[in-house]
Amino acid sequence: MTQRARAACGASPWSRHQAAACDLALYAREAFADDVVAATDRSLRFTADDLIH
């Protein structure tokens, strides 16, 4: 379990199952955020291209 995941989930002491579940939730949240940023970036680029042309 990473320190970051422990801080994000906010509880202690950790069982291995709790730690694994927290890690998985943290990674899923970060992956979702990355997807949202990428989609927003693509959308903004598309809009900018439309305005330029």
1 near 17, Cβ under 8 Å? no
Using pLDDT thresholds of 50, 70 and 90, give the confidence band for residue 9: low
24 Cβ contact list (under 8 Å, min separation 6): none
Using pLDDT thresholds of 50, 70 and 90, give the confidence band for residue 33: confident
- Given a cut of 60, whether residue 12 has pLDDT beyond it is no
Is 0.85 topped by the overall pTM? no
Sequence ranges of the domains in the chain: 3-52
Percent of the chain with pLDDT over 90: 0
d(CA 33, CA 48): 22
- Given a cut of 80, whether residue 2 has pLDDT beyond it is no
